[in-house]
Amino acid sequence: MTFSATTRQQNIERLQNETLDLLIIGGGITGAGVAIQASAMGIKTGLIEMQDFAEGTSSRSTKLVHGGIRYLKTFDVEVVSDTVKERAVVQHIAPHIPTPDPMLLPIYDEPGATFDMFSVKVAMDLYDKLANVTDPKFTNYTLSKKEVLQREPQLRSENLKGGGVYLDFRNNDARLVIENIKKAHENGGVLASHVKAIGLIHDDNNQVIGVKAKDMKTGKTFSIRAHIVINTTGPWSDQIRKLNGESEFKPQMRPTKGIHLVVDAKKLTVPQPTYFDSGDQDGRMIFVVPRENKTYFGTTDTDYHGDFQHPTVTQEDVDYLLGIINNRFPSARITLDDVESSWAGLRPLIASNGSSDYNGGNSGKITDKSFKKVIDIVDQYENQKVSREDVEAVLKDVESSLSEGKLNPSSVSRGSSLTIAPDGLLTLAGGKLTDYRKMAAGALALINKFLHDKFDQNHIPVDSKKLPVSGGDIDPNNVEATIDFYAKQGTDNGLSKKDALQIAHLYGSNAARVFSLIGKVEAAPGLNLAESISLRYSLDEEMTLTPVDYLLRRTNHILFMRDTLDDIKDGVINEMARYFNWDSATKQAETEKLAKTVAESDLTALKNNNK
């Protein structure tokens, strides 16, 4: 089903001229999850995303679908319980994306260790129980020190006590977003990338009835009308909430930056995803994950106040991660020059989330000073010396100062929150990518109620656990066999098995649509047939508008296939220039944007500084 640059133009026209039931601001995983469910329920749904879909946090994660076993240590059992159960759900609705891949958790006997051999078994048993993991192929087990070193001989052996192995899933975060977006489009949703909400529109009762929007490609501004508006802008959530001019605006978000570095697997070899304490007693745990023939590792967790659209990797971030990796894998001796690619993203943490709280509650501790303030003001109120408003003012002040006892970023709960502002603006923020479906289901229950109560609409809820994403028409219990089946359509039409499998793994059941281009699409100059049909499909059906969209988010070329990137990038640019009929200035600008993105990814500036 066409979902192209032309569709984008048509959808912008529709957004200007039709009143929606629901407008979603933000096209990361949270917005995409709301869009697929709302559109499937027959709710007239629009979504605007100011960048490319998934260009925010949802393409910059650790690329896992996981329950966060470390959150058990801060007793965030609710987050773990919700997210670990969601792993299997996401794998069922998007079988070609999350892949089960048991995590190895080496245990070191050192101060501040998150787990020891006893507690890791307890945690893994709880983790499996919460997720109802019963398949002996995936239930957890422990390893002796010798067994751990047999698996990962580069690991430091001093103080190593053994390890735990438990099920988690590797993921392609940006692919999960675009497959939700495409399905929402297939369901009748009206979605457009590079459209930014720049203002809220209110009726005479100061209720939000739409947004002022800006086409970021043309600069043209226009209005979009909707009965309900939901803010799913992740780290940007406060910026949207501020648009309604709330006089007593209190920030809700506490964005923290996390970075990842990618090296060749020959430099750092792990047979499976591996997860261990940083060793710095900072509450951090670090992932090391194999991907294609690379290994990536991360992540940091530092409060961030910079440019949300361009979080960058700093020398300090690199030093921190390389220090940890070279301590844990002493023979690897990874240096900055070994880094082939990288990425930086912002967690949309809820500031008031205490370390053991979920859904935006606030079990954070307040200081004695604030506690005394509350007691005094209530005492004065009881003696009719102050008004109720005076009490409310103090309580509001204390609530916002909950971040007084600012938790270490890694102790802040990864829970989500769904809030309604006085003008009716909904905000769905926080959480993890893993529980996007559940977060969206919660929001849809509220949206459906509003549409019923205020607009007399009756939409039958869908079981989102059984709502496959685009490309997800695959037996979740028989993924490899189904992928092989699809790949055969490629080899039957002359593709190599490797190329056919790569397309089938990336596009799932949509691989059939990609292979149907064979015979219609020639191999473009500088590209082989497989890359040419993959690119054409992405241009026609994934609203791919730029080379960066294709090489960074729709495929893994920039992050995990760096060896062949230089061979194909000119072919991609030339084919897109032909497809879009770019003039030379546009082609030059897109070429420069790609070069800038690749230079940022491979840390050229830091490497030059170190010369």
Residue 418 exposure: Cα atoms within 13 Å on the Cβ side: 16
Report the candidate in 184, 199, 188, 194 with the shortest Cα–Cα distance to residue 231.
199
User: Tokens representing 593?
Assistant: 């944007």
In the shown chain, the binding pattern of residues 158 to 197 toward ligand FAD, with x for contact by CB under 6 A and - for none, equals --------------------------------------xx
In the shown chain, the binding pattern of residues 227 to 266 toward ligand FAD, with x for contact by CB under 6 A and - for none, equals -----xxxxx---x-----------------x--------
Q: Does 546 bind ligand FAD (CB under 6 A)?
A: no
Only one residue has tokens 């060749």, namely 264
Q: To the nearest whole angstrom, how small is the minimum distance from the Cβ of residue 603 to ligand G3P?
A: 19
Using the rule CB under 6 A, give the single segment among 21-29, 105-113, 533-541, 567-575 that binds ligand FAD.
Answer: 21-29
Q: Which does 410 bind (CB under 5 to 8 A by kind): ligand FAD, ligand G3P, none?
A: ligand G3P
117: number of Cβ within 10 Å: 16
Q: What residues numbered 312-371 form the site for ligand G3P, per CB under 6 A?
A: 347
- In DSSP terms, 48 is beta-bridged to 25, 192
Report the candidate in 163, 193, 202, 171 with the shortest Cα–Cα distance to residue 7.
193
Q: Which is nearer to ligand G3P, 103 or 572 (CB)?
A: 103
Binding residues with ligand FAD: total (CB under 6 A): 39
User: Who's near 431: CB < 8 A, 6+ residues apart?
Assistant: 30, 348, 414, 415, 416, 439
Rounded to whole angstroms, how far apart are CA atoms 611 and 596? 20
Q: Does 62 bind ligand G3P (CB under 6 A)?
A: yes
Using the rule CB under 6 A, give the single segment among 50-58, 120-128, 457-465, 470-478 that binds ligand FAD.
Answer: 50-58
User: Who's near 235: CB < 8 A, 6+ residues apart?
Assistant: 56, 57, 253, 255, 308, 346, 347, 348
Rounded to whole angstroms, how far apart are CA atoms 144 and 366? 43
Q: Does 49 bind ligand FAD (CB under 6 A)?
A: yes
Q: Where are the alpha helices (DSSP H) in 429-478?
A: 436-455
Amino acid identity, position 81: S
Query: Whose CB is nearest to ligand G3P?
Result: 62
Q: Does 55 bind ligand FAD (CB under 6 A)?
A: yes
Q: What residues numbered 275-294 form the site for ligand G3P, per CB under 6 A?
A: 287
Rounded to whole angstroms, how far apart are CA atoms 273 and 288? 6
Q: Does 410 bind ligand G3P (CB under 6 A)?
A: yes
Exposed (0-12), middle (13-18) or buried (19+): which is 507, by Cβ within 10 Å? buried
Q: Does 82 bind ligand FAD (CB under 6 A)?
A: no
Q: To the nearest whole angstrom, how small is the minimum distance from the Cβ of residue 50 to ligand G3P?
A: 24
Only one residue has tokens 């039958």, namely 460
Report the candidate in 74, 68, 143, 186 with the shortest Cα–Cα distance to residue 510.
186
CB-CB contact of 568 with 526 (8 Å)? yes
Among 31, 33, 46, 68, binds ligand G3P (CB under 6 A): 68
Q: Which is nearer to ligand FAD, 408 or 588 (CB)?
A: 408
Q: Does 299 bind ligand G3P (CB under 6 A)?
A: yes
Q: Which does 98 bind (CB under 5 to 8 A by kind): ligand FAD, ligand G3P, none?
A: none
Rounded to whole angstroms, how far apart are CA atoms 434 and 411? 19
Q: Does 601 bind ligand FAD (CB under 6 A)?
A: no
Q: To the nearest whole angstrom, how small is the minimum distance from the Cβ of residue 35 to ligand G3P?
A: 23
Q: Which does 448 bind (CB under 5 to 8 A by kind): ligand FAD, ligand G3P, none?
A: none
Q: What share of the chain is helix, strand, coil (3-state, %, to 5)?
A: 45, 20, 35
Q: To the nearest whole angstrom, how small is the minimum distance from the Cβ of residue 348 to ligand G3P?
A: 10
E strands present in 284-340: 285-291, 294-298, 302-303
Q: Which does 534 bind (CB under 5 to 8 A by kind): ligand FAD, ligand G3P, none?
A: none
Q: Does 25 bind ligand FAD (CB under 6 A)?
A: yes
Q: What residues numbered 237-276 form the site for ligand G3P, per CB under 6 A?
A: 258
Residue 386 exposure: Cα atoms within 13 Å on the Cβ side: 15
Only one residue has tokens 């670090």, namely 286
Count, residues in the chain: 611
Q: Which does 25 bind (CB under 5 to 8 A by kind): ligand FAD, ligand G3P, none?
A: ligand FAD
Q: What residues numbered 402-441 form the site for ligand FAD, per CB under 6 A?
A: 431-434
Q: Which does 27 bind (CB under 5 to 8 A by kind): ligand FAD, ligand G3P, none?
A: ligand FAD
Q: What is the CA radius of gyration of the chain?
A: 25
Dihedral sign of CA atoms 347, 351, 356, 359 in order = negative
Q: To the nearest whole angstrom, how small is the minimum distance from the Cβ of residue 223 to ligand FAD?
A: 14
Q: Which does 178 bind (CB under 5 to 8 A by kind): ligand G3P, ligand FAD, none?
A: none
Q: Which does 182 bind (CB under 5 to 8 A by kind): ligand FAD, ligand G3P, none?
A: none
Q: Does 56 bind ligand FAD (CB under 6 A)?
A: yes
Rounded to whole angstroms, how far apart are CA atoms 77 and 429? 19
Only one residue has tokens 């281009």, namely 517
Q: Does 414 bind ligand G3P (CB under 6 A)?
A: yes
Q: Does 76 bind ligand G3P (CB under 6 A)?
A: no
Q: Which is nearer to ligand FAD, 262 or 503 (CB)?
A: 262
Rounded to whole angstroms, how far apart are CA atoms 426 and 11? 23
Q: What residues numbered 339-378 form the site for ligand FAD, per CB under 6 A?
A: 345-348
Q: To the nearest whole angstrom, how small is the minimum distance from the Cβ of residue 434 to ligand G3P?
A: 8
Report the candidate in 58, 37, 62, 41 with the shortest Cα–Cα distance to residue 49.
58
Asked if the bond preceding 299 is cis, omega within 30° of 0, the reply is: yes
In the shown chain, the binding pattern of residues 279 to 318 toward ligand FAD, with x for contact by CB under 6 A and - for none, equals --------------------x-------------------
CA end-to-end distance (rounded Å), the chain: 50
Q: Which helix (H) or strand (E) holds 573?
A: helix 562-580
Q: Does 301 bind ligand G3P (CB under 6 A)?
A: yes
Report the candidate in 330, 303, 300, 304 with the shortest Cα–Cα distance to residue 316.
300
Q: Does 164 bind ligand G3P (CB under 6 A)?
A: no
Q: Does 577 bind ligand G3P (CB under 6 A)?
A: no
Rounded to whole angstroms, how far apart are CA atoms 538 and 526? 17
Q: Which is nearer to ligand G3P, 293 or 408 (CB)?
A: 408
Q: To the nearest whole angstrom, how small is the minimum distance from the Cβ of residue 611 to ligand G3P?
A: 31
Contact positions vs ligand G3P (CB under 6 A): 62, 64, 68, 258, 287, 299, 301, 347, 410, 414
Contact positions vs ligand FAD (CB under 6 A): 25-31, 48-51, 55-58, 60-64, 66, 196-197, 232-236, 240, 258, 299, 345-348, 431-434
